[in-house]
Amino acid sequence: MQVRIARQTPQLQTVVAFYRDGLGLPEVGRFEDHEGYDGVMLDLPGTGAHLEFTATAHVAPPSPHVEDLLVLYLGSREAVDALVARSGAPVVPSANPFWDRAGVTVADPDGFRVVLVAGHWSPR
């Protein structure tokens, strides 16, 4: 199975810059006017999964919710601090206090939350 997580945005270039340049996710593809959509795919290194951000005029983009989280396990506090500084994203308190203990939650340009975790995930 392959996984791609797709989300529409009203500000494609700004959101792509945040995830690509700010969080360091490599761009792996893009398209323009594909049946009314423009889009950019970003790799989630080490996972085999991609994030896809699209823009279109015929469907309204989603609204963020405090529990819509993209959680990235970075492995160390130094890596988290470096990405927070590099991204320039606002740090926001998490609705779930677990995430505030595990790392830092930032908001992307659309207001969706990204949790940068200082450890590694392992099944229990």
Q: Rounded to whole angstroms, how far apart are CA atoms 76 and 116?
A: 10
Could you tell me the mean pLDDT of each successive run of 10 residues in the chain, 124 residues long? Answer: 95 97 97 94 95 93 94 95 94 96 96 95 79
The predicted pLDDT at position 117 comes to 97
Q: 33 in the Ramachandran plot: left (φ > 0), alpha (ψ -120 to 50) or beta?
A: left
Q: Rounded to whole angstroms, how far apart are CA atoms 59 and 54?
A: 11
Name which of 116, 110, 123 is nearest 71 in CA terms: 116
**The overall pTM is greater than 0.85:** yes
The predicted pLDDT at position 123 comes to 78
Q: Rounded to whole angstroms, how far apart are CA atoms 96 and 53?
A: 26
The predicted pLDDT at position 124 comes to 72
**Who contacts 101 (Cβ-Cβ below 8 Å, separation ≥6)?**
none
Name which of 13, 31, 39, 44 is nearest 114 in CA terms: 44
The one-character DSSP state at 22 is I
